[in-house]
Amino acid sequence: MSSSRTLQDAAGIARSLDGLAAGLRQALGEANDVALVGVRRGGLALSRRLAERLRGLGMKVDLGTADISLYRDDAHLSWPRASIGPTEIPFAIDGRHVVVVDDVFWTGRTARAAMDAVLDFGRPRRLWFVTFAVRPGRELPIVPDLSAIEVNVPADEKVKLHLVEDGHPADGLVVEPRRMS
């Protein structure tokens, strides 16, 4: 089994985030108002970083979070998660551009659950899905609107976006061996 390796360092992450924010700004066209919803836990810090950059580009940004535990499609297969983080969307999403943000897109199942979670809070004008990294291996007909990097690694490795806000020593996009449980 291979050891951990870093695909992007802090400077690379910063450039990628600039690119994601600029891409999203462009994709939103005329709209100057957007709501970001970070998917717990990996998308949380990322959504804050993106919000900061979009505000820097002159946008009005609302920031919320969603925990998808209650929307998973494998509740009948797996032992339930005993910890569920808060879902906080303390603003109206009806008629707005809402961007779901997660760190890594792989099978599409988390994205599906996150979209369902957000749609329980209202009817956005347009729902977007933005992710930092994309791995091949979709299991549902869903693709992100925007992403910074594609990472093709074997299934026994996991891709993690480490951001200092989550307690990591430095920003980095990291590939680690998957621990067998």
DSSP characters over 74-120: TTTTSPPPS--PPPB--S--TTSEEEEEEEEESSSHHHHHHHHHHHT
Cβ–Cβ under 8 Å, residues 100 and 129: yes
Q: Which of 8, 67, 115, 163 binds other proteins (CB under 8 A)?
A: 67
Number of residues that bind other proteins (CB under 8 A): 23
Q: Which of 5, 9, 22, 75 binds other proteins (CB under 8 A)?
A: 75
Could you give the string, one character per residue 107-136, with x where binding to other proteins holds by CB under 8 A and - elsewhere? ---------x---xxx--------------
| Closest CB 77 distance from other proteins, rounded Å | 7
Q: How far apart are CA 50 and CA 44, in angstroms?
A: 10
- Taking residue 92's Cβ as centre, other Cβ atoms within 10 Å add up to 12
Could you give the string, one character per residue 77-96, with x where binding to other proteins holds by CB under 8 A and - elsewhere? xxxxxxxxxxxx--------
Cis peptide before 41 (omega within 30 of 0): yes
| Closest CB 22 distance from other proteins, rounded Å | 34
Q: Taking contact as CB under 8 A, which single stretch among the options 5-13, 51-59, 74-82, 172-180 is the one that binds other proteins?
A: 74-82
Q: How far apart are CA 95 and CA 93, in angstroms?
A: 6
Site membership for other proteins, residue 180 (CB under 8 A): no
Q: How many helices and strands (H and E) does the chain possess?
A: 3, 8
Binding-site ranges for other proteins (CB under 8 A): 67, 69-72, 75-88, 116, 120-122
